[in-house]
Structure 1
Amino acid sequence: MPTDTPSTPTRRSIRTTRTDARRLRRRPVLVLTTLTTAFAIAASATAMAPAPATARAESTPAIALASFTKALPDSITAGVATSVPASKIQSTLDRADDAVAASKKVTADIATSKLDVGTDDTTVETDDLAQAVSDLENVSALPLLLDTRDATAAVEEAVAEVNEQTGALQGRLDAAIQKEKERLAEEKRKAEAAAKAAAEKKAAEEAAAAEASRSSSSGSSSSGSSSSAGTTKRAASGTSAGAAQATARSMLGNYGWGDDQFSCLVSLWNKESSWNYQAYNSSSGAYGIPQALPGSKMGSAGSDWKTNPATQIAWGLGYIDGRYGSPCGAWGHSQSNGWY
């Protein structure tokens, strides 16, 4: 790349150019201020000295500088007025103070937040504004002789530049604060979801363990029972939907549930699997009559959970008891949420 290609002017160089231009405009003002001060001192000294009678009679003021005496021209002493009202000058200076205060505040707020606002430079340059304010204060000290319009405009321009930088930093800080709020909210959501999943898993495991314990006790007590017990066992081993429902009805007594709960259970598992012990949801992986997710959960009720409806039903009833308290409780949840 050629080395003599002009580079893009930076914001600092632009401000320096503007500052130099304002300083050039101030030079005539400073010269006039010096001369005016000298004139005023000389005029005071002359006024204090006794004047001849003929001089007192003259109406045109005069200034004595050494041995040279010259009357002030009418263009200086007559018709001179403040170019910018004093009230506007004061309001401009007040806005300058507010701009500086706001710039310091946003810098302090960023430091306190300890957030990444996307830039290392979190300060606002106010040197130009300070110089412009000083110039305006100097010029406005002699409002009858000096034009305050340029100095006022310079302060207003510097205030606008400071406010622009302050606004940009404030926008970065607000964005960083919002991002941090969203991050904390997401972390809280994940923690709550993990806690809920852990609680559900624990409840299901406890329910399965309780059901397995009840099934074991029931099996031991029925080993020497009459032929009617054998008939019940054969019905429990049936694989049709009707046989599976009969098995479920026979198990309800273990939980103290009646026919009203059986009706809710029929509706619930009709919706889930149509009482098909081989029902499999390819999308979620749920399996069996109760649609356990995953199906291997039912292994806690028996190793034949894939093929025996009775094993699936035993696990399912234990899950319902531990999670919802009753089949009607599970059915109501399923109707409201689409799952149980």
Structure 2
Amino acid sequence: MLEGNRVSRISVRGFAVVSATAVTTVGAVVGVASGSTGQPSQEAEATASDSTLLADIPAGQQAQVQTSSLKQQAQTQAIAADTAAQKSAEESARKQAAEDAVAKQQAAQDAKEAKEKAEKEAKEREAAKKAAASRSATRDASDFASQASYSVAQVQSMARQMVPSGQFQCFSNIVDHESTWNYKATNASSGAYGLFQALPGTKMSSAGADWQTNPATQIKWGLGYMNDRYGSPCEAWSFWQANNWY
């Protein structure tokens, strides 16, 4: 019996030392995972030393002590694994959030640029359309035979055939205010002349040498002036309304 007790005490003591060493090792791993550095502490050594006392525990209670030690090891390992997994998950979440923020910002910038480009292209198309419409006269001044004189109705008829239909009303509004369709209208104080009160009247010679007597020549000049300076008769009329001149 004495010899059997010695074997039991030695076996149990060996198991206790192994168990304590395992606990100490796990504790060291946990310490490293938590950011600790250096050698195992005196507490760990004390634990290893104290574990030899397991042999002094009655045989009936040794199984409980051994089971408790194994459970502690398992719990320590589980806590270390959970901590590492949580840290990894948090890092992945931060990385994903940063990537999502960058992608969202880039998408917003791309959408803004696309919108600005579309608006710019739409404006350019509209401007080109207006310019083409304002310059596409049905007839030219040279298409009309010269006469000694012209009535207001005849002058207006010429204008309708020379000015694009979509621009005629604006064109007519300006002529109404400037000369009431009198192609020989003269401003006594300034010398402005003709349907558009050109100042000086000789400006209209660029459209034809007969600018003083031919309303078709004056219409050609006036239409060209509105297109070149304002883009169209309607744009010229908008300016006239704001300034009472053009």
Same fold by TM-score greater than 0.5: no
| TM-score grouping bracket, smaller chain normalisation | 0.3 to 0.5
Give the TM-score taking structure 2 as reference length. 0.40
Structure with more of its chain in helix, by fraction: 2
